[in-house]
Amino acid sequence: MDLSRFTFRLNRFIFGLVFGHSVKYIIFSSFFFSSNQQEGLGVTSYKADPWCARFYCHMLYIIFFPQMVRLPAGTFTMGTDKPGIPQDGEGPPRRVQLDAFHMDIYEVSNLDFERFVTDTGHVTEAETFGDSFVFDGFISEEIKRAIDKAVAAAPWWLPVKGADWRHPEGPDASISDRMDHPVLHVSWNDASAYCAWAGKRLPTEAEWEYACRGGLEKRLFPWGNKLQPKGEHFANLWQGTFPSNNTAEDGYVQTSPVDAFPTNGYGLYNMVGNAWEWTSDWWDTRHSIDDAYNPKGPASGTDRVKKGGSYMCHKSYCYRYRCAARSQNTPDSSASNLGFRCAADAAGTP
Ligand SMILES: *[C@@H]1O[C@H](CO)[C@@H](O)[C@H](O)[C@H]1NC(C)=O
């Protein structure tokens, strides 16, 4: 083995050993934040050192911290014959064959999304509309007083003026201590734009569910059938009485870092819980039972499929933190529990 290759491997080994997973955000936050604070808003720009920020740091990041994992081609059972929420179209189970593809290991974080916005000037739909949906338990009394409408079927959702990805609970909130948490208040259109910028795309629902299952067949969760093996928490969900009492037994009242909790069999984090994740499919609750090959969902629709549930899900009202579970929103919707991750084709692989 030549010396440069050996040094590279050694570096990588030591980085992994010493820093584990979380610290990459600290390292790269410090690259981005050190010299570039704009008026204390925590807004970064590449202008101070474009070469380092845009190329060198980025290459280091990619080399030391792979962001995607290649999932092997395979056939799996999509959906379930024991639907937890039958009206969501969780059944019938059907055999689905997929080519190999790449999947983001983590949900897209605030730090990731900030790089995208800095680079492209993208304005999210929540920012354009001027409001987004926020869970009322996290809204300050001051902001609550200004709100006059709510969602009749789900009164805990309130449209908050000025809520967006940088201000998840409204204008008086900030993400500066949550840069490694999933980005929220991003619509399907925003998510698609991000993935395209990154040279990726949103996963299909079939790819997402295959990734969620982590190589296990017909299990409820990414890690098996038991929600808390040996009493351990494997996902960021709601503990306590929803919506009044969040005991945060899993360690988090709201979102958690994108690398919190154990990975599934494919090395993916937070496939269920934390934030809902957009997929590329249109929503329909009726499915053909025929075997399918790389299915991409209905040709048209009004809503897009989201998967995985969120930190707000509790079995009593949102038993949707299962791989087969699904829900939907219009492509311009955004909320304080909805994010995404990207996928990519695995070129030249069967
Ligand atoms: C929330 O639930 C926990 C556990 O059941 C209980 O100990 C606590 O008193 C409750 N808190 C409130 C504010 O109801």
Q: How far is CA 154 from the centre of its chain?
A: 22
- SS3 per-residue string spanning 115-164: HHHHHHCCCCHHHHHCEEEEEHHHCCHHHHHCCCCCECCECCEEEEECCE
Q: Whose CA is nearest to atom 11 of ligand 1?
A: 245
**Do 342 and 279 touch, CB atoms closer than 8 A?**
no
pLDDT for position 57 = 63
Q: Whose CA is nearest to atom 7 of ligand 1?
A: 247
Top mutation candidate among 238, 241, 242, 245 for ligand 1, by most atoms within 8 Å of CB: 245
Residue 241 CA, ligand 1 centroid: distance in Å: 8
Q: Which of 227, 192, 224, 221 is nearest to 341 (CA)?
A: 192
pLDDT for position 321 = 98
Pseudo-torsion of CA 160, 162, 165, 168, nearest 10°?
A: -50
pLDDT for position 146 = 83
- How confident is the chain (350 residues) per 10-residue block, as mean pLDDT? 52 53 48 38 38 59 78 97 96 98 96 95 97 92 82 86 97 95 98 96 98 98 98 97 95 96 96 98 97 98 98 96 98 98 78
Residue 248 CA, ligand 1 centroid: distance in Å: 11
Q: How far is CA 318 from CA 54, 56, 93, 150, 228, in A?
A: 41, 44, 21, 19, 17
Start-end of H helices in 165-204: 188-197
pLDDT for position 129 = 96
pLDDT for position 334 = 97
Residue 247 CA, ligand 1 centroid: distance in Å: 7
pLDDT for position 201 = 97
Tens-place pLDDT, residues 126-177: 999 999 999 988 999 888 888 877 777 788 999 999 999 999 999 999 999 9
Ligand 1 residue neighbourhood (C-beta within 6 Å): 240, 245, 247
Q: Which of 64, 68, 67 is nearest to 18 (CA)?
A: 64
pLDDT for position 48 = 43
Q: Whose CA is nearest to atom 1 of ligand 1?
A: 245
Please give the structure tokens belonging to residue 348.
Answer: 């030249």
Top mutation candidate among 246, 247, 253, 316 for ligand 1, by most atoms within 8 Å of CB: 247
Q: Whose CA is nearest to atom 5 of ligand 1?
A: 240
pLDDT for position 51 = 52
pLDDT for position 294 = 98
Q: Which long-range contacts (CB under 8 A, 24 or more apart) does 245-251 make?
A: 246/137
pLDDT for position 151 = 75
Rounded-to-integer distance, Cα 335 and Cα 318, Å: 16
Q: Whose CA is nearest to atom 12 of ligand 1?
A: 245
Residue 137 CA, ligand 1 centroid: distance in Å: 15
